[in-house]
Every structure is written in C-alpha cells, then in structure tokens.
Amino acid sequence: MKKKFNKIIFLALILPLTLGFSGARLTNAFYNDAETSGGNSFSASMLDFILTNNNLNKLIGPEALGEISHASVVMPVDGSLPMQYTLSNNILTNDSDFCSKLTVEAKLNGISKYTGPLSGLAFSTTTEFGTWEFRFDLPPNISVPNGAQCNTGALFSAWRADITNPADSSWHDEETLNISFTERMIVLNEIFANPKTGDKEFIEFYNNGSTDVDVVGWKLSEISGSTEKFYTISATTELPKTAASQSGSTVIPANGYLAFYLSDSTALNNSGDTVKLYDSTTTLLDSHTYPAVSAGKSVVRYPDGIGFWVDPEPTPGTTIIVSLEDLRVAGFDDAMIAQVLELVALKNSTLLNNNGENQIKAASVVQEILPPVEEKGTVAADGGTPPEAVVLEPVIESEVITEILEIVETIAPPAPEPIIESQVIVEPQPSPEATAGEAEPVVESEPIIIPPVSEPAPATEPQIQ
C-alpha cells in the first residue's frame, strides 16, 4: 500500500512539468556585460568663417557723385582651423552688358587690393581677415537703358591654411556678398524755384540712358514745412497736383531733357527746399536740397545729367551753359573745377569765360593740355595688371589744373591799362640870393606822377574760394 502511494505522488509531480513544457509558453534568458575603457577622447575639427552685411541692393547711375559704397567684415569663427581664402566675382545675370560696364575698387583693412571692371574682380590667396570696403561706380560716359539690372556676387572661398591646393583640402567654406544693381538713368537736372514776373517754376529731368523713357505717372515732391507734397507727371497741369511739359509730352529722349511745370504756381520755396523724384512704383530715384536762391536764378546740374550743382541763368529744355565765375561763386576750388572740365569734355559741353563771352569748348582745352592717358587696371597681389581688365583714366596733376584755369580765364579781353604821366616840368622858386635875371626852367630829377582824371579800376586776380 505504501509503495503504491509513493507512485501516485511521483506521477502527481511529473505530470504538471510535462504539461508545462509541451504548451505554448516560452522562457527567455538574457546575458549582459559592461566594460569601461579609460584614457580615450574624441574631437571633431571645423573650418568656418562669417561674412557680415552680405546683401547689397541699390540704384546706381553715371553721375559724378553716383558711387555706391559698401563694407563687409570677414572673420573666422572661434575654434576654426587656420584658413586662407580668395576673392572672386560670380556674375549671376547680365542685363545688356550692364555688369561688364560697372567698375569697383576693393580694399582690405584700408589697403587697395583691386581696381577695375566688376566682372574681373579677383584677389589671390590671403590669410588676412578684417573689413572689406567696396566702391562701385558706373563711369559718366556710359549709357545703358534705364532700369537695366545686374545681379552678381563677391565670392569668398576658404580652405585649410596648410594646404596649397584647395582641391587637396578636406575642409572648405564659402560665403557670398550678394550684389544687385538697377540702372537709374533719369535724374533731376534743373530746378527753377524763384522766377521773375511772367516766368513759371519748373523742374527739368535729364535722361542719361540710351533709350527714350516715358515718365507719365511718375511723381515729383517738395517739402513744405514738415509735409511732403506730391505732383504726378501728366500730359496737362490743368488737373490739381500735376506736373507737365509745355508740349504735353511725357517722353524724355535718350541723352536729352524735358522741363515740367507744376500746377501750383508757387510750389517751390525760394528760401530753400528739397525736391525728390519717384518712379511709377514710388521708388525714390533722385533728390536734391537747394539753399535760398535769387530771383531769376536756376539751380542746375552741370554738365547735364552727370555733373555738380551750381546756380546760373535758367535754361528750360535746353542745354545748360555755365561760366567759370558760376563755378567760383558756387565755392569750387581748383581740384573741383578740374573735375568739372573732365566731365565737360566727356559731354562735349560749353563753358563761358568770366565775361560771359567767347564760348569755350572745354573739350578742346582739356585735350590740348592733359598728359597722355595712363593705363589703370586691376591690382593683383603680385602687382600685375591683366591686360583684359584695363580701364583708361586721365591723370591730372596740380600744375595741369593751374594751366587749364589760366587758359580759360585769360581768354577774356584784358582791362585797359591806367594812363600815367611820365614827368612834369615845374618852375623853381627864385632863390633869395639871386642878384639878377630870372632862373632858367629846371626839370626835376624825380618826376612828379599825376594820375589821369578818370582812371579805370585795375583788373584784379580771380579769388579762389
């Protein structure tokens, strides 16, 4: 009986185990291990630099003072590998060869590194960082369609300083100064704010471009106190707040001018004002602030479209004629007058002498005196000048300026010389000791000078202001 009972217990223990292993249950086992390695470290190198003020979007024109200046700072990022870099041009679009006509001077920390066409902008490898200054210009003798665009860039490319060939460097960085210029060829050219009785106020535009431009819908403005008053360019001034030409035309011919008369007869302030020109999209194209102006005097840009502001007699709708005296009164020194003469030569314009006579073709005066043209092109790191990037500019020395001015000023007829008596015979007083007879007339050894009754004022040398 006891043996039978033990078998029953054994079967009771074995049966559950058998059923458990034959079912759907699974038993998982996990094995883990952890090891620590000391004395090891990992790091990553980088090559990176920053370019500040990296967008330039401006209007540009051929005026004498139409240059556009821009500055960007190039600096390595903290922790970057030592690097070297180059500067080059990256033209994106070229409208009517506009980009190729632009010039640029590039300076690094105040030292000129390149001067020449924008399309040829380049500077060889350098490790010097700091401020890059750019001065963009469109030469005054260039004429392109109004509104032409140039989208380009100044590309800075960097790689490791210890690698000669950039292609062999595993680290590179590039930054671009994005440049967008729109050609502005329509400018303010003459402002007649204080007419005499019977005349009307007008504002004249000049078109420096190579195509005619219709300015209908454009706007003029002037400042009245603190308020800017607008006048819309129209075919008639019969509507309020309009400006129109006498012919009713709103088309300014290529390299030509057109005067617009304001509907308000006394819109411009005689004591000084600011005149602004906007296109049909209300983009500000040009502005000029003039001081108090005398009755009958205009404020003009001389030569037409590209020059400096002076105030001679008004010439609405015709070429502006200025005298040397006008330039002196405007405060021009010899250096500025030399600049004006260069511009006059480019425009084949006219300059009067101090008497308002004998119109002088300044172009012929300058061409006779100026030294041979000097070649001025790109300045590379090695001092070389690539022949394809040569720009011709006249060079004027101080003695040449003096000679030009002497020729211009001495064309006026000389003032008459004063008349001076050479000597006068006088009768001597008889001596108390004279005993007989009359004394003979004596000619004084020191002649007495007697000025004429109506002596003209002597000519004075022109004063340089």
Placement of tokens 């108090």 in the chain: 292
pLDDT at 174: 95
Q: Are 148 and 96 in contact (CB under 8 A)?
A: yes
At residue 40, the pLDDT reads 60
Give the torsion sign (CA, 275, 277, 278, 280). Answer: positive
In this predicted structure, what is the pLDDT of residue 196?
85
Q: Is residue 96 situated within a structural domain?
A: yes
Q: Are 346 and 141 in contact (CB under 8 A)?
A: yes
Task: Give the Cα separation of 273 and 121 in Å (integer).
Answer: 41
Residue 101: CATH number of its domain: 2.60.40
The pLDDT of residue 65: 84
Place 372 in a pLDDT band, splitting at 50, 70 and 90. very low
Of 178, 183, 176, 179, the closest CA to residue 101 belongs to: 183
Rounded Cα gap, residues 268 and 199, in angstroms = 13
Q: Which tokens in the block code for residue 419?
A: 């008349």
Pair 259, 307 in one domain: yes
Whether 258 is covered by a domain: the verdict is yes
Confidence check: pLDDT of 272 > 50? yes
Does 274 lie in the same domain as 226? yes
In a domain, 288, yes or no: yes
- Residue 200 in any domain: the answer is yes
pLDDT tens for each residue of 72-126: 999 999 999 999 999 999 876 666 578 889 999 999 999 999 999 998 999 989 9
Per-residue confidence band for 432, with pLDDT thresholds at 50, 70 and 90 = very low
**How crowded is the C-beta side of 321, counted as CA atoms within 13 Å?**
13
Based on the fold, state whether residues 99 and 130 are members of the same structural domain.
yes
User: Does residue 139 sit within a domain?
Assistant: yes
156 and 208 inside one domain = no
For residue 402, the 8-state DSSP code is: H
Q: Could you tell me if 231 and 246 lie in one domain?
A: yes
Task: Verify that 209 and 330 share a domain, yes or no.
Answer: no
Please report whether residue 16 resides in a domain. no
Residue 246 lies in a domain: yes
Residues 398/371, Cβ–Cβ less than 8 Å: no
Q: Of 43-57, 208-222, 326-340, where does mean pLDDT reach its minimum?
A: 326-340
Q: How many Cβ atoms from other residues are within 10 Å of residue 303's Cβ?
A: 28
Domain at 210, CATH number: 2.60.40.1260
Q: Which of 183, 216, 247 is the last residue of a domain?
A: 183
Is the same domain home to 249 and 344?
A: no
Residues 168 and 269 grouped into a single domain? no
| Of 269, 292, 318, the domain-final residue | 318
In a domain, 231, yes or no: yes
Give yes or no: residues 334 and 375 share one domain: yes
Q: Which domain range does residue 104 map to?
A: 49-183
* Residue carrying structure tokens 């000097």: 374
Out of 183, 205, 226, a domain closes at 183
66 and 111 share one domain: yes
Residues 77 and 165 in one domain: yes
Domain count of the chain? Answer: 3
Can you give the C-alpha Rg of the chain in angstroms?
A: 42
Poorest-confidence range of 122-136, 327-341, 375-389, 398-412? 375-389
Q: In degrees, to the nearest 5, what angle opens at C-alpha 79 toward C-alphas 75 and 81?
A: 80
Which has the closest alpha carbon to 136: 99, 163, 166? 99
* Same domain as 192, residue 310: yes
Full-prediction pTM beyond 0.95? no
Could you tell me the sign of the dihedral formed by the alpha carbons of 154, 160, 162, 163, in that order? negative
